[in-house]
Amino acid sequence: MYDEHYTRLNQYRSLWILVFFDLPTETRKERKIASSFRKKLLDDGFSMFQFSIYMRFCASRENAEVHTKRIKKNLPEHGKIGIMQITDKQFGMMELFYGKKQVETDKPSQQLELF
């Protein structure tokens, strides 16, 4: 029973950060800036959910704030970027489809965090 209680609480404490962006890519310089922004997201542990949506699991609100600040520090000068934090419970309620076929959402892998 304790494990179920801890897991349930943890679903509300752990967060997913979703980064949505629409960056200009008309010139070579703009493509390089957009590519650099995506690379920085990948280097920070984000994975691509869709072409312009990246996500990252964070075990706590404090950890999510660290990554959110890092994103804000690397924002390009032009384009639209949105950052959203949702609980693991909310993320788990998402319905995903490939065409008309529904698929299950991936469970976050256990991460070892060193401070």
The reply to whether 88 sits in an annotated binding site is no
pLDDT digits (tens, 9 = 90+) for 54-91: 999 999 999 999 999 999 999 999 999 999 999 999 99
- With 80 as the cut, is the pLDDT of residue 7 above it? no
Contact 55, 17 (CB under 8 A): yes
Confidence (pLDDT) at 1? 45
Q: Which residue has the tokens 């998402």?
A: 94
Point out the least confidently predicted range of 30-34, 60-64, 74-78, 101-105.
101-105
Domains and CATH numbers, the chain: 3-103 (3.30.70.240)
- Alpha-carbon gap, residue 105 to 96, rounded angstroms: 7
* Mean predicted lDDT score pLDDT of the chain: 87
Q: Residue 108: is it exposed, middle or buried by C-beta count within 10 angstroms (0-12/13-18/19+)?
A: middle
